[in-house]
Amino acid sequence: MAVSLFTNNFLFIGDLLEDLLKKRLTATARLKDTLKPAKKTCALMLRDEHGVLEPHTDLLSVALAVIGFMVFAALMSQTYLGYEDRSFALENYETASLIAENLADDPVLGAESSGLLSAASLDTLSGPNGANERAKIFAAFSGNYQFLVEVRTGDGQWHWQIKPDNVEIDAFADDLEKVAASVPVVIELNPAESIPGILTVVIYKTKWN
């Protein structure tokens, strides 16, 4: 959009400058036709030349000012669009971080050992039998945010994804704007083995945010 605005502005400015140059050439031609050989008349016509050219000089100055304004407007448009692209992430990163921290301490995801996530609980929450538990997790947070939860082990061998059930099928499409925040966790694979991992909350942009 900014490129189109910039192009249209320069087409307008080009037409304006062309018109100004034609007017200046016409004024100069008329001036030459009216010049007389007499010294006194030449002196008078030189004074008249300033009178003819000065208004066109003013118009040229205005045109240059318009060019500067149009360039400034185009740059401001690009800056605004860039800000719009970043504003969602800036506004929602802190929210994603808070949700991630809360979920890391949520008993629904936890193991019997304090401070650990349970691989068994994650299996249930990410599977077809975890609808009730998933509903409890997402109901605890404002309906103004559409997000999913990912948990993975540090070695990448285990990965769980928890999504709400009451959303449209394309609510988490890859091409949607989103922001993510992660917190470190420890995942209990079984009573004898626990490994480090990452819990990530991904908030997706919707029509209401």
pLDDT in tens, 4-61: 444 444 444 555 555 544 555 454 445 455 544 444 444 444 444 444 445 556 666 6
Is the pLDDT reported for residue 153 higher than 80? yes
Residue 154 near residue 196, CB atoms below 8 Å? yes
What count of other Cβ atoms lies within 10 Å of the Cβ of residue 186?
Answer: 16
Q: CA distances (Å), 194 to each of 102, 109, 115, 158, in order? A: 21, 14, 11, 12
The residue that leads in pLDDT, 160 or 85, is 160
How many Å apart are CA 109 and CA 162, to the nearest integer?
11
Name the band, by pLDDT with cuts 50, 70 and 90, for residue 117: very high
Which of 71, 61, 66 lies closest to 24 in space, CA to CA?
61
- How far from the centroid of its chain's Cα atoms is residue 46's Cα? 58
Q: How many helices (H) and strands (E) does the chain have?
A: 4, 5
The Cα 42–Cα 130 span in angstroms is 99
Among 57-66, 76-85, 113-122, the range of highest mean pLDDT: 113-122
- Count CB-CB contacts under 10 A for residue 165: 9
Token digits for 53?
């050219």
Q: Would you kindly state where each structural domain of the chain is located, as residue ranges?
A: 2-87, 105-204
User: pLDDT category, 165, cuts 50, 70, 90?
Assistant: confident
Percent of the chain with pLDDT over 90: 34
The most distant pair of C-alpha atoms in the chain lies apart, rounded to whole Å, by 114
Using N-to-C axis directions, what is the helix angle for 39-104 and 2-34, rounded to 10°? 170
